[in-house]
């Protein structure tokens, strides 16, 4: 279950997954799709044993930031986010997901910028 509070996540984010703990901003309507998105991240973290996940995530985000020159476009084009956004509507995705599936999103076409996203 997500931890609802006023302090985490920071700034404009509505939800964040930190070492498998999901924090949701108070007042945000956290949906099943949001939960699946965060659970996909938890699976990604476990595959990389948590700390390396954050190193790879941040490193790829920096590369995307240089590539796109936009914080938001960099975020949406990180392979971990691409996988999570693409499959968050699929109820059984985690049951059929292959190990290290996020790798397949490293070179795929850039994700469309989702202006309505609340993450």
What is the pLDDT at residue 115?
A: 40
Helix (H) or strand (E) holding 32: helix 32-47
What is the pLDDT at residue 112?
A: 54
What is the pLDDT at residue 43?
A: 98
Whether the predicted pLDDT of 119 surpasses 60: no
Distance, C-alpha 57 to centroid of its chain: 9
| Angle 54-30-93 from CA coordinates, rounded to 5° | 65
Q: Quick one: average pLDDT of 71-90?
A: 97
Q: pLDDT of 5-33, one tens digit each?
A: 999 998 889 999 999 999 999 999 999 99
Whether the predicted pLDDT of 54 surpasses 90: yes
Q: In whole angstroms, give the CA distance from residue 112 to residue 64.
A: 14
What is the pLDDT at residue 109?
A: 61
Tell me what the pLDDT averaged over the chain comes to.
92
Q: Quick one: average pLDDT of 55-78?
A: 96
Q: In whole angstroms, give the CA distance from residue 39 to residue 97.
A: 12
Whether the predicted pLDDT of 96 surpasses 80: yes
Q: How confident is the model at residue 110 (pLDDT cuts 50, 70, 90)?
A: low
What is the pLDDT at residue 116?
A: 43
């Amino acid at each position: 279950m997500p931890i609802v509070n006023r302090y985490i996540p920071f700034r404009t984010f509505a939800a964040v997954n930190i070492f498998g703990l999901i924090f949701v901003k108070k007042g945000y309507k956290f949906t099943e799709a949001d939960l699946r998105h965060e659970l996909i991240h938890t699976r990604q973290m476990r595959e990389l044993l948590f700390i390396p996940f954050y190193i790879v995530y941040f490193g790829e985000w920096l590369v995307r930031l240089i590539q796109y020159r936009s914080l938001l476009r960099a975020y949406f084009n990180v392979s971990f986010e691409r996988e999570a956004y693409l499959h968050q509507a699929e109820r059984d995705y985690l049951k059929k997901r292959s190990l290290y599936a996020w790798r397949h999103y490293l070179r795929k076409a850039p994700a469309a910028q989702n202006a309505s996203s609340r993450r």
